[in-house]
Amino acid sequence: MSAQSSRICAIRLPGTSRARFADAGEVAVSLGDWVVIDIGAGEESGQIVVAPDQWTTAIEMEDVPRIIRRLDDAEFDALAQTIELTRSLINPAADMLRTHSPGTRLAGLRLTLDRSTAIVAYLGPEPENAAVLDDALSRAIDRPVVLEQDLPGDPDRAMLGGGIGRPSREDAETFQELLQRRIDVIRDPESFAPHGMPRLGTQVFCDDGDGVLVAVDVRRWTATVRLADGTEITAPVDSLRQP
Q: Is residue 164 part of a domain?
A: no
85 and 54 in a common domain:
no
Integer Cα distance of 197 and 185 in angstroms? 17
Integer Cα distance of 238 and 108 in angstroms? 20
Residue 163: which pLDDT band, with cuts at 50, 70 and 90? very low
> What is the average pLDDT across 169-195?
44
Choosing from 72, 94, 114, the residue where a domain stops is 72
Integer Cα distance of 131 and 145 in angstroms? 11
Query: Three-state secondary structure along 33-86?
Result: CEEEEECCCCEEEEEEEECHHHECCCCCCCCCCEEEEECCHHHHHCHHHHHHHH
Integer Cα distance of 182 and 65 in angstroms? 21
Domain count, the chain: 3
83 and 65 in a common domain:
no
State which residues form the domain around 95.
Answer: 79-149
pLDDT attached to residue 175: 44
> What is the average pLDDT across 139-153?
83
Structure pTM? 0.62
Give tens-digit pLDDT for 75-129: 888 888 888 888 889 899 999 998 998 888 888 888 999 999 999 988 888 888 8
